[in-house]
Amino acid sequence: MEIGIGLPNPIRGVEGRTLIEWARRAEEASFSSLATIDRIAYPSYESLITLAAAAGITERIELMTNVLLGPTRNPVLLAKEAASVDQLSGGRLVLGLGVGGRPDDYEAVGERFDDRGRRWDEALELIVRTWRGENLDPGESAVGPAPLRPEGVRVLIGGMSEKSIARTIAWGIGWTAGGAPPEQVAPFVERVRSAWKKAGREGQPHIVALSYFSLGDDVTEASRAYLKDYYGFTGEFAEMIADAAPRTPEAIREVVGKFEDIGVDELVFDPTVAELTQVDRLAEAVT
C-alpha cells in the first residue's frame, strides 16, 4: 500500500509559502501523493490552484484532490482547469471528485444543493467530452488544453452511495473513501470491486482512503481544535472525529495495517496542524 500526505490547505491561517515548502518536503520524503481537501464556505486554499503551485516545485509526486466539490463548479471550466494542472504537472493530477454534504458550500456560490447529484451526473459527462476535445455545440471550438492522456485526467469518485459506485464504474479509475474508518470502508471496497468486475472493467479499481493525523504532544491541542472547528457542523460527532485521529507513531502504523488489510491501495494522511515538522515526523513513522 502506498502512503500519501495531505497538504494543509484547509487549515485556518496557513501561509502560502508553507504550502509550497510542504510540497517540496513531501516529495523529498518519497510520499506517493500530495492531496488537498476541498471546501468553499471555509477559509481554505482552492484545491486546483494549490496543486498547480505544488506542481511547479515538484517533479515526481502525484497531485490529488481528495475530493473536489464538483457540482459547485461550472463543468467546462472545471475540465479546463483540471487539464491545465494535468499538463503543468506532466500528467500527475488525480482528480478526486464528490458532491459533498454541506449546503453552505453551495449557497456560497449560488448553486442548488438538493439536486446536486442529478446535475453532477450530467456534468461528469460534459467534463469528459471537454477533455476529448468534442465541440460543445455545432460550430464551437474545443475547450483546451487537452489532458496529457488521450482518455483524459484520471478521476477518482468519492462518496458512499450507490450513485458513487455507478459514477466510479462509468468515469473513474477508482474510488476514494474520504475520512471513514477501516471498518466502514471495508464493505464498500468490496461493493466497488464487485461492481467493477460485473461491469467488465479491466484490472482493479484504485482504492484510496484518508486518515487525519498529528504527531507530537506539542501539537495535540491544536490538532483537536482544528478538527472540532472543521467538523463543527456535525455537532457531537466533531469531538469523536477529533479523538479518532492517530497521534503517535504506533497509532499511525496501526492505521496503516488496518487499511492495508482491507485492500486499500493508497492511504493519505491529512495534517491537522500546518507545522512543517509534521511532514518529517510522518515520514519517520511510516518508514
pLDDT digits (tens, 9 = 90+) for 162-210: 999 999 999 999 999 988 999 999 999 999 999 999 999 999 999 999 9
Residue 175, C-alpha cell as written in the block: 474510488
How far apart CA 9 and CA 35 sit, in angstroms, is 9
Cβ burial, residue 110 (10 Å; 0-12/13-18/19+): exposed
Query: How many helices and strands, by DSSP H and E, does the chain display?
Result: 11, 8
Rounded percentage of the chain residues whose pLDDT exceeds 90? 95
3-state secondary structure 70-110: HHHCCHHHHHHHHHHHHHHCCCCEEEEEECCCCHHHHHHCC
Kindly report the pTM of this predicted structure. 0.96
Measuring CA to CA, which residue among 285, 287, 283 is closest to residue 27?
A: 283
| Predicted local distance difference test score (pLDDT) of residue 134 | 85
pLDDT at residue number 178? 87
Residue-wise DSSP of 225-238? HHHHHHTGGGTTHH
pLDDT of residue 211: 98
What are the structural domains of the chain? 2-286 (3.20.20.30)
User: What does pLDDT average to over the chain?
Assistant: 96
Q: Residue 34 carries which DSSP code?
A: E
Spatial neighbors of 256 by CB under 8 A, at least 6 apart, are 1, 3, 267, 286
Per residue in 115-155, pLDDT (tens digit) is 999 999 999 999 999 999 986 666 667 888 999 999 999 99
With CA atoms as reference, report the closest residue to 246 among 283, 271, 275.
271
Distance CA 281, CA 116 (A): 39
The pLDDT of residue 139 = 64
